[in-house]
Amino acid sequence: MTVVSKLRPEDTDVVAERIARQLNDDATRRTFVNPTIDLSLLRDTIMHATNATWVAMDDEHVVGHLFAAVLSDPERRAAWTGPDGVSFDDDSILTSLLERAVHAWRAQGAIEHFVWSLDEEDRLEPWRQLGYRAISLRGVMAIPQLGDVGLDAGWTLRVARASDIERILALDHVIDVAQGDAAKFSRSHRRRNRRELLQQMDDPDVEHFVLEIDDDVVAQAITFPSPARRGSFEHTLHLSGVAVDPALQGRGIASEMLNAVLRSAHARGFEYVEAQWRVNNTRAHAFWTSYGLEPTYVRLARRLAE
Ligand SMILES: CC(C)(COP(=O)(O)OP(=O)(O)OC[C@H]1O[C@@H](n2cnc3c(N)ncnc32)[C@H](O)[C@@H]1OP(=O)(O)O)[C@@H](O)C(=O)NCCC(=O)NCCS
């Protein structure tokens, strides 16, 4: 019989080994998952999260674990589980773990649960069976040697300036439309977005690129170094906010812009690039996978019952 309880300090080593084994399995199935793990750091992390981690025991053996960080931000009251936050020997163990955890997450105010799972059918199916749906994908590739080819005549890639804000907001809106993010169409959201985008331009880690064709801003891409994360490689550049003026899509503009962005990132020591996109954004999916990004993890979501 499976018994679920909060993680005890003496379970730490077994849970750490389960996580390391699973990450290793992920890396044998996906080229761009990094299996390297600092076991003693992982044990420390688990030790500090005993109160937010459940373990399933069967006959004195650990057969599963589940951790989530519950965010109290009023706009994102959700429980978040990373790829290393969950393991289960069979589907019924996942059900037992969730029965206990969901209750606690709800008591802490979470209304939704997000979980990252390897993008493989056998890993996704147990979640789907429990009513979870795929929201977004993370894709990674090694930055290729792109050669020293310049942009076309009349094309300029440069860092965005405050005076570009109206064009940038228009390009951001293109992304919201593509993703069906109706919640982002409100005036108050646009006002906040404007403020955040302007602040971000002063962040030394973030580079907001715009592409001009004949002095008109027609595309953008935002980059920053990906934070250290188990499963990711060092020297990974995160790409976001990629958008092209709708009238000019399908002409190779995003590919050319990203080639220029990645050429410069590679020269600065970045070896990998990652991006995330919504599964319902079929155009973005086609673009990223044809550009070379290989999906690694899928983010799934489920609303927690009232
Ligand atoms: C996704 C997006 C950025 C792609 O930009 P784009 O400039 O249209 O992309 P490209 O033209 O470089 O590539 C798209 C397709 O055009 C093809 N293409 C490339 N050069 C071409 C050319 N000279 N003529 C015609 N087609 C061309 C590409 O091969 C690619 O086709 P494929 O995916 O079938 O291989 C753009 O569609 C967009 O802004 N979408 C809305 C915002 C969005 O969803 N952003 C992503 C958020 S994660």
Percent of all residues in the chain with a pLDDT value above 70, rounded to a whole number = 100
Output phi, psi for 25, to 5 deg. Answer: -65, -45
Distance CA 87, CA 17 (A): 11
How far is it, in rounded angstroms, from Cα 220 to Cα 205?
A: 17
DSSP conformational letter for 227: P
* 279 CA to centre of own chain: 12
**pLDDT interval class at 151 (50, 70, 90):** confident
Q: How many CB atoms lie within 10 A of CB 206?
A: 16
What are the tens digits of pLDDT across the range 35-87? 999 999 999 999 999 999 999 999 999 999 999 999 977 777 999 999 999 99
Mutate to test the pocket of ligand 1, among 137, 157, 217, 244 (most ligand atoms within 8 A of CB): 244
Residue 211 has a CB neighbour count (10 Å cut-off) of: 25
Residue 213's pLDDT is 96
Mean pLDDT for all residues in the chain = 94
Q: Which residues line ligand 1 (CB under 6 A)?
A: 174-175, 178, 242-244, 249-255, 277, 281, 283-284, 286-287, 290
Distance CA 34, CA 57 (A): 29
More confident residue, 192 or 234: 234
Distance 68 CA to ligand 1 centre (A): 36
Q: Which atom of ligand 1 is nearest to the CA of 246?
A: 39
pLDDT at 306 over 70: no
- All structural domains of the chain, each given as residue ranges with its CATH number in brackets, are 2-137 (3.40.630.30), 144-270 (3.40.630.30)
Q: What is the structure's pLDDT at 291?
A: 97
